[in-house]
Amino acid sequence: MEIDKAIRECDDRRLKTKYNNAIYVIKRALALYPVQEVALSFNGGKDSTVLLHLLRAGCFLHQAEEFNSGGDAADGGKTFPIRTIYFESPSAFPEINSFTYEAASIYDIQMDIIRLDFKSGLEALLKANPIRAIFLGVRIGDPTAVGQEQFSPSSPGWPPFMRVNPILDWSYRDVWAFLLVSKVRYCSLYDQGYTSIGSIHDTVPNALLCTRNSDSSEEKFKPAYLLADGRLERAGRAKKNSSTVCGKLSSTSNGLKMENLNSGSMLTASIITVGDEILFGTVEDKLGSVLCKKLHSIGWAVSRVTVTRNDIDSVAEEVERLKSRDDMVFIYGGIGPLHSDVTVAGVAKAFGVRMAPDEEFEEHLRHLIGEKCSGDKNEMALLPEGITELLHHEQLPVPLIKCHNVIILTATNAVELDRQWDCLIELAKSNGILEQMDPFVSKCFATTLSDVEVAQPLSKLCAQFPDLYIGGYRESREGPLIITFEGKDLSRIEAASQSLCQKFHPGAFSKIK
Ligand SMILES: Cc1cc2nc3c(=O)[nH]c(=O)nc-3n(C[C@H](O)[C@H](O)[C@H](O)COP(=O)(O)O)c2cc1C
Ligand SMILES: Nc1ncnc2c1ncn2[C@@H]1O[C@H](COP(=O)(O)OP(=O)(O)OP(=O)(O)O)[C@@H](O)[C@H]1O
Ligand SMILES: [Mg+2]
């Protein structure tokens, strides 16, 4: 079988591993479901094309094994035995349409053309046919891949069938390696700079492949397989609903104080430190307070700093709780290759996604650590699937990891934190990940009055000025009581501090800041 032969004879080890894994998934599916109960969802796209050829190889190998005759019952992969469905749409590119039909004719595919939306089309298909599993060319990084496994039942509300995703863990590079090594035809649009193809209304060639001659203004595009960074394959797809740049989810209850403070434009962050040693009292967390200061300096309110155990569930629980309460969550500690380094896995669990190899991150690690970290076993290159954004900065040896509104910091001391913070702030200027807010202003007063004397007037003042943070602390029982006013409006702070001074004899409070 020509596909199987081409891959086995090539010297791309990574491609062979991916191929073998995909074939394994296909064989499992064919062992679980009779061939007349499975279907291929094919649309002429590159991922679909890879899947078609994997299925051709998989069916051939499965049949060969079944009949244990080295190929007697198989026909050399000439007739494609799996029912194939194509949802044809008037807004598809004509090149996609013609390639799909051409593939059906070349590979002798029995293709059902469905001219309904996906859901209604599948309902009709399943009513008329005993289909129980459908193969899809969905890959990690596709918006629809989040939460999916290689075998994932269809979602609630969809007709019941098993979605089988043999190339879920394939990267953009793997797809092109396969298509080029196996020398199969693919849709011509990919040679014209299209890297991921949706409808004619939302897809243009990928600008990252654009070349322009100095002597002509004519735009030209390189072929899709030359795109260096596969994470940008969807750069030619118009965003349907662009998510908020800073990953803000909601500013829900952060306690009464924060809610009141939130009446203005207040963004809140929380900080999670991961470390059993901190909880044992063996080491002290020095980064939490540094990070609080830094966040405060750009006008963010920190709603809480927590310490959690080096345990996936503890991390996941804390991240899950805080990511929906605060605009941004910072997490550090527990990052690396040790058994106790569970932070990234905890973040994945909090978002309900699995960990998957990230080629680009692996490349950075390889530069940093050397070849020791290559291959399938590099657990440090596993990142939360479909939600990870790598934040690059030339000053950082390895990019920072951002999963929605959770930023994973790798700093282990204040100097490293300073560097990572400065890079984040610089990046924020271009991509808006960390919005800079109006700065806080504050005033502090010292008094020798007792806590009991001050308590009631102070709590009345808090009710009068809900937009301010009014607090009190002392450094010793004998020393002065310090009253702090914190907020974004200096005139309000002045009004509140005057109001407090007027409640007591002149000179009872002295301003210290
Ligand atoms: C065969 C097939 C099965 C699908 N099954 C599901 C499903 O179980 N749940 C779901 O939310 N979407 C399902 N979808 C829809 C896709 O996840 C996704 O919404 C669609 O591919 C997005 O296409 P669009 O970007 O053109 O809107 C299915 C699509 C196809 C073709
Ligand atoms: N119109 C369609 N008809 C049949 N299957 C479809 C259709 N649209 C999507 N699919 C299924 O969903 C999978 C994922 O679609 P997606 O658009 O991400 O990949 P692709 O079209 O194969 O490649 P590309 O990312 O280059 O567009 C396809 O491989 C195919 O299995
Ligand atoms: Mg597509």
Number of Cα atoms under 13 Å in the Cβ half of residue 341: 12
At residue 213, does pLDDT exceed 70? Answer: no
Using alpha carbons, select from 1, 21, 173 the residue that is nearest to residue 74.
1
- DSSP secondary structure letter of residue 403: E
**Residue 483: CB partners within 8 Å, gap ≥ 6?**
444, 445, 446, 447, 454, 458, 470, 471, 472, 500, 509
- For ligand 2, whether the C-beta of 344 sits within 6 Å is no
Residue 258 has pLDDT above 50, yes or no: no
Distance 401 CA to ligand 3 centre (A): 27
pTM of the model: 0.62
CA–CA dist 470, 493 (Å, integer): 9
* Residue whose CB lies within 8 A of the most ligand 2 atoms, among 41, 148, 234, for a mutation test: 41
For 88: left if phi > 0, alpha if psi spans -120 to 50, otherwise beta; the answer is beta
Burial category of 329 from C-beta neighbours within 10 Å (exposed 0-12, middle 13-18, buried 19 and up): buried
Tell me the two tokens of residue 3.
């596909």
CA 158 to ligand 1 centroid distance, Å: 9
511 three-class SS: strand
- Edge to edge, the sheet with strand 268-274 lists 301-308, 268-274, 328-332, 406-409, 400-403, 388-391
Residue 260 pLDDT grade (very low, low, confident, very high; cuts 50, 70, 90) = very low
Q: Is the CB of 158 under 6 A from ligand 1?
A: yes
Distance from C-alpha of 412 to C-alpha of 207, rounded to nearest angstrom:
39
- Residue 363: pLDDT band (50, 70, 90) is confident
What confidence tens digit (pLDDT) does each residue in 298-339 have? 999 999 999 999 999 999 999 999 998 999 999 999 998 888
- Evaluate: CB of 155 within 6 angstroms of ligand 1: yes
Helix (H, G, I), strand (E, B), or coil: what is residue 274? strand
Residue 350 contacts residue 380 (beta carbons within 8 Å): no
| Cα-to-centroid distance, 37 and ligand 1 (Å) | 19
What is the value of ipTM here, to two decimals?
0.97
Who has greater pLDDT, 28 or 375?
28
User: Are the C-beta atoms of residues 64 and 4 closer than 8 Å to each other?
Assistant: no
